[in-house]
Amino acid sequence: MEETLKILVVDDDEVDRIAICSALSIAGVQIELSEVGRGNDALSLLSINTYDCVFLDYRLPDQDALTLIQQLRYSKIKVPLVVLTGQGDEQITLQLLKAGATDYLSKSRISPETLSQVLRSAIRIYRAEIQADLANQQLRESNEQLIYKNQELERQQQQIQMQNFKLLEASRLKSLFLATISHELRTPMNAIIGFSQILLRPKFGQLTRQQADMVERILNNGKHLLMLLNEVLDFSKLEGGGLDLKPERFDVSKVINIVVSEMRSLAEAKNLLLLVQTDLQNPLVFNDPLRVKQILINLLSNAIKFTESGEIWVEVKELPGNRVVIIVQDTGIGIASKDFKHIFEAFRQVDQTITRKYPGTGLGLAIIDSLVRMMGGKIFLESKLGVGSMFKIELPRKITLRTGAGNAPSSQLDNDDFFCPPQNPHQSSSQSRKANRIS
């Protein structure tokens, strides 16, 4: 069923009004017609009623159509307007359209077909304009929202930048404090260790068994505390970019044997077997021997600390691509998969309580990680809770340093860091996970 259109005819000539109504009826247009003969009356009706179209005579007794259209625009009244012009009025049609008229029609051309066509065209144009206005309004609102969100993002970015600056400054001050306090504490600690060693020498007097035991405790605890201070100092230097590698050519197998010999007493104190195997055709490497030794000491200290019974293996062998790998494997407590993501965080331990079974600063593997990265190497781990862990440190046979902060290597390996391919025949690929271990 065709919709009924509400039509307003504004014309002071009754004959013209009847002609319009008759033409629309003949054309089959369902209309609800309203008629007025003056512009002010039309303005009053349009302010309180809604019409689908208005047929407006250009010449009215109180004003012309151009003036009425301008008043409608000023009042923000929108409606399809078809201006009916007479002889000699055609030249002002462009002004009418610019003012807001939807279309115009000469009274001499009024017929059922043309009037119906103009009516439907005017309504279609008007509705398209309304939709376009609505779309533009939505677009403007969206644009305003985007502008507001962009401004909000800029404010948040500024806040984040300020927070980052504060965090960086706090981190710098923390590293400076740690380095200063560690350095200051090492001097009296070295004195305590030195005088304890002097007291244990027979030429300075014979101590009773009880006295010797107490001095040995002082010495051992002093060495342990000095080790902790050295870890904190090394970490603060690594974090601040103040630690430099000092590479030289050396025999890596000799360094490994020396470290194993130094650590063997700790392993034997827990009844652990400490085995070492070297498989190198060329044992010479170009690296920092002290830092390589430090890496191995930390790995072995961890292995001994977290192993209650069984064995610890140390193996070094060659890899393709002019690389060497150092492997430390144990039968210790292993690492749960849920703890893998936290393993490299400084000062972080799996057991964070003050009554934890395994002491330490939580910096051992964080230091290893930083040193291995400085050397252009990678860390791999295979571990299973309650079974044990295997750390593998892959290093280039010859490291290349560039000048600048931290002596960073000039080239890095392209593989994903800490990705561990399943190389152990006794372990499934699902057990090969990237991780590190808390010290």
Give tens-digit pLDDT for 148-176.
Answer: 999 999 999 999 999 998 888 877 777 77
Residues 229 and 371 in one domain: no
Domain assignment present for residue 304? The answer is yes
DSSP letter (8 states) at residue 401 = B
Q: Which of 399, 423, 425 is nearest to 411 (CA)?
A: 399
**Number of domains the chain is built from:** 3
Domain assignment present for residue 235? The answer is yes
Q: Which of 278, 378, 391 is nearest to 334 (CA)?
A: 391
Assess whether pLDDT exceeds 90 at residue 312. Answer: yes
Residues 263 and 235 in one domain: no
The pLDDT > 90 percentage for the chain reads: 33
pLDDT bin (cut points 50, 70, 90) of residue 429 is: very low
Assess whether pLDDT exceeds 60 at residue 439. Answer: no
> Does residue 307 contact residue 272 with C-beta atoms inside 8 Å?
yes
Residues 258 and 224 in one domain: no
pLDDT bin (cut points 50, 70, 90) of residue 180 is: confident
Domain assignment present for residue 65? The answer is yes
Collapsed DSSP state (helix, strand, coil) of residue 320: coil
Residues 25 and 64 in one domain: yes
Residues 308 and 426 in one domain: yes
Collapsed DSSP state (helix, strand, coil) of residue 143: helix
Return the residue matching tokens 């230097």: 237
At 358 the pLDDT is 52
At 153 the pLDDT is 93
Assess whether pLDDT exceeds 60 at residue 424. Answer: no
Assess whether pLDDT exceeds 90 at residue 97. Answer: no
Mean pLDDT check: name the lowest of 8-12, 159-163, 378-382.
378-382
At 436 the pLDDT is 34
Residues 217 and 272 in one domain: no
pLDDT bin (cut points 50, 70, 90) of residue 342 is: low
pLDDT bin (cut points 50, 70, 90) of residue 419 is: very low
- Of 94, 110, 126, which marks where a domain is finished? 110
Residues 422 and 366 in one domain: yes
| The amino acid at 99 | A
Instruction: Using alpha carbons, list the distances in angstroms from residue 164 to 92, 157, 171, 176, 240.
Output: 67, 10, 10, 18, 16
pLDDT bin (cut points 50, 70, 90) of residue 346 is: low
Assess whether pLDDT exceeds 90 at residue 253. Answer: yes
pLDDT bin (cut points 50, 70, 90) of residue 7 is: very high
Highest mean pLDDT: which of 193-207, 261-275, 341-355? 261-275
> Does residue 284 contact residue 249 with C-beta atoms inside 8 Å?
yes
Q: What does the pLDDT average to over 202-213?
A: 83
283 vs 179, higher pLDDT: 283
Residues 400 and 290 in one domain: yes
Residues 372 and 287 in one domain: yes
DSSP letter (8 states) at residue 223 = H
Provide CB contacts within 8 A for 351, sequence distance 6+: 357, 358
CA atoms within 13 A on the CB side of 293: 16
Instruction: Using alpha carbons, list the distances in angstroms from residue 57 to 20, 82, 103, 117, 313.
Output: 11, 9, 12, 18, 105
Assess whether pLDDT exceeds 90 at residue 344. Answer: no
- Of 110, 125, 141, which marks where a domain is finished? 110
Q: How many Å apart are CA 161 and CA 102, to the nearest integer?
A: 55
Assess whether pLDDT exceeds 60 at residue 404. Answer: no
Assess whether pLDDT exceeds 80 at residue 437. Answer: no
Assess whether pLDDT exceeds 80 at residue 121. Answer: yes
At 149 the pLDDT is 93
Can you read off the two tokens belonging to residue 275? Answer: 């085995």
pLDDT bin (cut points 50, 70, 90) of residue 240 is: low
Domain assignment present for residue 227? The answer is yes
Assess whether pLDDT exceeds 80 at residue 407. Answer: no
Instruction: Give the domain CATH number at 65.
Output: 3.40.50.2300
Q: What does the pLDDT average to over 222-237?
A: 76
Domain that residue 11 falls in: 5-110
* Mean pLDDT over the full length of the chain: 81
At 347 the pLDDT is 54
At 438 the pLDDT is 34
Residues 216 and 281 in one domain: no
Can you read off the two tokens belonging to residue 277? Answer: 């195997």
Burial of 206 (0-12, 13-18, 19+ CB in 10 A): exposed
Residues 234 and 261 in one domain: no
The pLDDT > 70 percentage for the chain reads: 83
Q: Which residues are 312's β-sheet partners?
A: 274, 330
- Of 73, 90, 110, which marks where a domain is finished? 110
Domain assignment present for residue 161? The answer is no
